[in-house]
Amino acid sequence: MQYVKLDRDVIDRELAKLQGWSLREDGLAIVKAYKFANFAEAFGFMAECALVAEKLNHHPEWSNVYSRVKVCLTTHDSQGVTERDFLLANAMQKAAAGRSD
């Protein structure tokens, strides 16, 4: 399924609904840095999000160092931000609830 690259106005409107997410400087991705109480919480978050990403067939670019997880979401096929990125960002926000430090 092809996803349509979103206009800046739509991206801004969707970002306003999310906590702590922002548009990357080049405008091609949305990003967030999470901080958890410890590595186990960070890893639990990543494991839960990985299951959602698999179901969506949309995989994040992310990195983990101890209790921190940096996330970058973009839709490579569309060369920018699409609805699919916001679906995964919303799932990540739910997964982080109660885990964040």
- Mean pLDDT for 37-49 is 97
Q: Residue 101 — pLDDT band, cuts 50, 70, 90?
A: low
Predicted confidence at residue 1, as pLDDT, reads: 58
Q: Name the residue among 58, 59, 62, 50 with its Cα closest to residue 3.
A: 58
* Pairwise CA distance, residues 49 & 54, whole Å: 9
Asked if residue 83 belongs to a domain, the reply is yes
Q: Name the residue among 29, 32, 38 with its Cα closest to residue 80.
A: 29
Asked if residue 90 belongs to a domain, the reply is yes
Per-residue pLDDT reduced to its tens digit, 47-96: 999 999 999 999 999 999 999 999 999 999 999 999 999 999 999 999 99
Asked if residue 18 belongs to a domain, the reply is yes
Number of domains composing the chain: 1
Chain mean pLDDT for the chain: 95
Kindly report the CATH number assigned to the domain that includes residue 50.
3.30.1360.20
Domain that holds residue 89: 8-96
